Amino acid sequence: MGFDFILIIDPLSIFRAAVSSFVGFVIVIYSLGYIRHEQNQNEYYLMVLLFIGSMMGLVFSGNLVFIYLFWEMIAISCWRLIGFYREPTHVRNADKAFLVTFFGAVVMLLGFIQIYGLTNTFDITAMRGTLIPGTAVLLILFGMFSKSATVPLHTWLPDAGVAPTTVTALLHAAVLVKIGVYAFARLFLYTFRLPEGWQQAIPILVAISSLVAAGAAAVENDFKRILAYSTVSQIGYIFLGFSMMNAAGVSGSLLFILMHGLAKGGLFLCAGIVIHAVHTKDIREMGGLIKTMPVTAISFLVCAFSVIGIPPF
């Protein structure tokens, strides 16, 4: 039946695990001070470790069934962390994030089942080089795009900004939205062959996502929502590089995963400091903070330049 738990340890999985675990470690250390006055701290750390641990399980899994199981474990811990403060609006936004990503995962599972019907196995190491039908590609892409907040399945990510800043840093920099791009690389670069036309269609879809999200960020006033829309746009760049399916595109996407993980995590942690100091997320009510918070301002600029790609950052 192909239900064996198989580990894949290769440069892609090691790289992704190293980036996620390092950024996750930094965020956990930051959390020690950030949530020290909050209730339910034990539950917070339990969910964070489940979050990161499930990511490690997914990254090293060589079986479609276990990829799906770890995918859903991440969704459950994400749901609880987004609704950490348990206010009605926060809970609704957490429910929205869970429902969108859960529905996408179920659709993706249907694609896995279709592939199983063709290959009679869930072991991805036994399916390398297999040409899969376009319907399976569409179903799996739907799940990936919902988890990685790709337009039009992106609406849950800006709303997830109600979570503690440490959680939003995890969502954007370390774990959640990078799952889809990792799965894309694992399945569509290392395992399956795509049908005719999909290699041209996917870059168009993700390029549109990047442009739409960038436009949304330009008209937003909420600090964390601006960063969220920028993440949606930047995830599109990563998808775009992978979808080129050549050495330059893949290398660029892998490098951007590393730099985005470090820099976007830093941007959200700086945002947490600013919001905690000024007690607002509205950028129209901020100004001149470089005079009162110079270290935070310089740190934010360095991280922003890194995401943009301005030399030497």
- Over residues 126-147, the pLDDT tens digits come to 888 889 999 999 999 999 999 8
* Residue 74 belongs to a domain: yes
State the pTM of this model.
Answer: 0.89
pLDDT of residue 135: 92
pLDDT per residue as tens digits for the range 181-217: 999 999 998 889 888 888 889 999 999 999 999 999 9
Q: Which residues lie across from 282 on neighbouring strands?
A: 222
H or E stretch at 156: helix 156-159
* Residue 117 belongs to a domain: yes
* Residue 146 belongs to a domain: yes
pLDDT per residue as tens digits for the range 77-115: 989 989 888 888 889 999 999 999 999 999 999 999 999
pLDDT band at 174 (very low <50, low <70, confident <90, very high): low
What 3-state class would DSSP assign to 36? coil
* Residue 4 belongs to a domain: no
Within its chain, how far is the Cα of 78 from the centroid?
Answer: 11
Residue (of 43, 40, 163) closest to 98 by Cα position: 163
Question: In which domain, by residue range, is 204 found?
Answer: 11-308
* Residue 259 belongs to a domain: yes
Number of folded domains that form the chain: 1
DSSP 131: E
* Residue 313 belongs to a domain: no
* Residue 1 belongs to a domain: no
* Residue 5 belongs to a domain: no
